Amino acid sequence: MKKCDKPRNRYIMFKVLSEIENFENYIYKEFLKFFGEYGFSKIGFKIIEYNNNVGIIRCRREYMEKVVGFLALVSEPRIKTIKVSGSLKKLREYTN
């Protein structure tokens, strides 16, 4: 695979505004319900880290707006998008 064919990722930092037990499993199930299996695989959704109600999600660049929209539509634990970045390093620097 040539470098130009490599899929470009975006990293989305979010904050969960209310407590929920086992958040990672919950958000994966909601995402799968919302986009289906095909959408789940095309978007490349993955929770990179989640600590103290703040987390980072990875997705493909083309679907970043759809993922941010999905996070806004999740009703039970309110989720606020903090920042979107093309590199994980810059996003982690933002938290410090």
Q: What is the pLDDT of residues 4-43, one digit of tens each?
A: 778 899 999 999 998 888 889 999 999 999 999 999 999 9
CATH of residue 81's domain is 3.30.70.3250
**Residue 30 belongs to some domain of the structure:** yes
**Residue 63 belongs to some domain of the structure:** yes
pTM summary value: 0.88
Question: Tell me: the pLDDT tens digits for 42-78?
Answer: 999 999 999 888 999 999 999 999 999 999 998 888 9
46 neighbors 27 (Cβ within 8 angstroms):
no
Which CB contacts under 8 angstroms, 24+ apart, belong to 58-67?
A: 58/9, 58/10, 58/11, 58/12, 58/88, 59/9, 59/10, 59/12, 60/7, 60/8, 60/9, 60/10, 61/7, 61/8, 61/9, 61/10, 61/86, 64/10, 64/12, 66/35, 67/12, 67/43
Domain extent for 32: 7-95
**Residue 84 belongs to some domain of the structure:** yes
**Residue 2 belongs to some domain of the structure:** no
Q: In the chain, how many domains are there?
A: 1
**Residue 79 belongs to some domain of the structure:** yes
**Residue 54 belongs to some domain of the structure:** yes
**Residue 44 belongs to some domain of the structure:** yes
